[in-house]
Amino acid sequence: MTSPDRASNRPSGRMNGGRALAEMLRLAEVGPMFGMGGFQLLPFYDALAQLGMRHFLINDERCGAFAADAYARVTNRPGVCDGTLGPGATNLVTGLIESLNAGTPIIALAGDTNRAHSWKNMTQECRQAEILRPAVKELIRVELTSRVPELLRRAFAVATSGRPGPVLLDVPEDVCHGEHDFSTEDFAIDPSILSVPARRIRPDRADIARAAALIARAERPLILAGGGIHLSRAYEALLSLAEGQSIPVAHTMSGKGGIACTHPLSVGLFGRYSRIANDFIEASDCLVVVGCKLGEIATKRYALPSQSIPLIHLDILAEEIGRCRSAAVALWGDAKAGLEDLAEALTEEKKWASAARADYISEIPGRMSKWREEAAASLNSDERPIHMARLCRELNHALPADSILVADGGFAGHWTGLLYDTKSAGRHFIPDRGLASIGYGRCRPHDRGRQQCGLGLRQGIAARDVPRPLSILRPRRNGLCGNRERDGLQRSSRRGSGAAWRGVAGRPRRADPPDRARRRRHPRPRPHVACGRQPHGRDQAGRPGSVSLHPAPERPPWRVPHELNPWAEGPRSGAPPRAAEGMGGVYFPADCRTARVAALATAFNEAVTISLSMPTP
């Protein structure tokens, strides 16, 4: 929508606060919203339906916050989520902190009590503003219906300016239900604040000159790229500086994709987990840190880099510079703008940099080859359960260049951060490193309300009108652990998903309610294949530690094709499982059973879940 169109579409007249909220979001051209309705915001939901705007009902407000976060990451536009009074609002906390720490723009709406009766023990009343304020970049309380458009405009400005983050709009019931005569001017909104970055600032020219001089003198400079590269969309600027000055690039988990991992100048992940990047850091004589907080993981708990190495730190948040490591030159500004200014200041040095650093750059392929030889045993492992290095190698082969891999919290993110290779610049790898909450990547193809980030990612991909494969890799509830750690637990089967752990081995199971018993006798067919394990780490044939491919127990029994069964030569080949416990873990849409996906399916164990699909715009 162009600015003239947006102006001509502004509403006016008497309307309630909920309608004003919806009209402003319409003018902001927000994407799908995620949340669970409550009475306090009821006029808002009515208005969304009347305006034909999309709102996805979720089963838990945390899921809505994760979905909005994922949508924002792939579109660089604010995601929108909502929650009702009390527990609905407090359920947003985990997702909002993820966005706050990761710098993801989100507009969150929370209903609140009718102010005429506040603090009179109203149903679900709590000090939600005090609980939510530390979890967001800014909390805005709307006290007058007439100020709804103004304060929502403010929320967009705060969410997308500087270092992006979540903003929560706390809307009391009487404000949302109250009415006001609005004019068209009330609904004005600046298009520049509707995406990230809203406004770019450039570092001081004198600081740029000092930084350029340090880089020009360096024989072994190295760029350390963080997640700010994605927020600034600085891919071309980073590549131009790296190639023009022959400077290798290392990345954090959040910064993966700043340049393609397959690029000759990429030395991979640095910090706690590293292929060769840490060696390059230790041997460097100048480090250029871009959009990176240099936190615990990136610095091996602050052991890297050495204080003796000159460091140039470029960041949009001035107070982050020098927080964990003092900088020789501090560049306060946008990552893209700062990198462009550095490249311009080093134009003369570009003529000789390639020749002067040729020997330095030639070290990269040799060291990477040596690392691959040392890691070959793990990368090519035939272990059962699958070795995570082998899984990552298969993902590298299976996923195309435009795919997106989502890694959940915990070691699912660490393994893929180290071993998964993006094949082009951009957000093709999304770990939830803001808070590293396990559950961010939870995705059940048959349960939209519980898809969490998967739903938001699919909507974000669709909004970009570019269909691409989406994969989600996550640890199970108990993390990536072996059989011995799991022997005291058993999983309850819930529609074959194996999502919940219940009780201790030997505890009697409660009787199923009549409706669930009926579903067990007459299950609804679902077009998914499950790859799971029998109880206590044994497969159908009783072999410990192996994996079998079979349909979920509640679906009509069928035989797995011979070529898809990893144990086709063994007993009970392709037979459905004998019990429901321990089922589920890996789901694939039926139309995705290609040879490569089948190979992945047979290799999985309970430790991870992956969902492969091709969303459509």
DSSP string, 471-526: EEEEE-TT-S--HHHHTTEEEEPSTT---EEEEETTPPPPPPPHHHHHHHHSPPP-
Residues contacting 552, CB < 8 A, separation 6+:
495, 496, 497, 526, 528, 530, 583, 584
In order of 2, 158, 159, 610, the CA distances from 165 in angstroms are 25, 8, 5, 28
Do 535 and 579 meet the contact criterion of CB atoms below 8 Å apart?
yes
Rg for the chain, CA atoms, rounded: 26
Identical fold between 3-193 and 205-375: yes
Enter the tokens of residue 295: 């936190």
Q: How far apart are CA 360 and CA 365, in angstroms?
A: 11
Q: How far apart are CA 408 and CA 437, in angstroms?
A: 7
| Cβ neighbours around 433 below 10 Å, total | 23
* pLDDT value of residue 546: 30
Give the three-class secondary structure for 13. Answer: strand
Q: How far apart are CA 62 and CA 40, in angstroms?
A: 19
The tens digit of pLDDT for each residue in 273-302 reads: 999 999 999 999 999 999 999 999 999 999
* Element spanning 192, H or E: none
* pLDDT value of residue 521: 46
User: What's the 3-state SS for 102-143?
Assistant: HCCCEEEEEEECCHHHCCCCCCCCCCHHHHHHHHCCEEEECC
Domain borders along the chain are 3-193, 205-375, 380-613
For residue 189, give the nearest of 162, 149, 159 by alpha carbon: 149
Q: How far is CA 297 from the centre of its chain?
A: 17
The CATH architecture annotation of domain 3-193 reads: 3-Layer(aba) Sandwich (3.40)
Instruction: Provide the residue count of the chain.
Output: 617
For residue 615, give the nearest of 400, 420, 460 by alpha carbon: 460
Query: The tokens 């060769």 sit on which residue?
Result: 276
Do 147 and 206 meet the contact criterion of CB atoms below 8 Å apart?
no
* pLDDT value of residue 516: 52
Over the chain (617 residues), what is each successive 10-residue block's mean pLDDT? 73 95 96 91 95 91 91 94 94 95 96 90 90 97 97 97 96 96 95 94 96 96 97 96 97 96 96 95 97 94 94 96 94 97 93 92 96 94 90 92 87 91 94 86 49 60 56 50 28 29 35 51 38 35 35 35 38 34 30 38 39 34
The tens digit of pLDDT for each residue in 156-213 reads: 999 999 999 999 999 999 999 999 999 999 999 999 999 999 989 999 999 999 999 9
Beta bridge mates, 47: none
Do 119 and 107 meet the contact criterion of CB atoms below 8 Å apart?
no
Residues contacting 353, CB < 8 A, separation 6+:
244, 245, 246, 346
Do 582 and 534 meet the contact criterion of CB atoms below 8 Å apart?
yes
CATH dotted code for 205-375: 3.40.50.1220
Q: How far apart are CA 258 and CA 227, in angstroms?
A: 8
The pTM for the full model equals 0.76
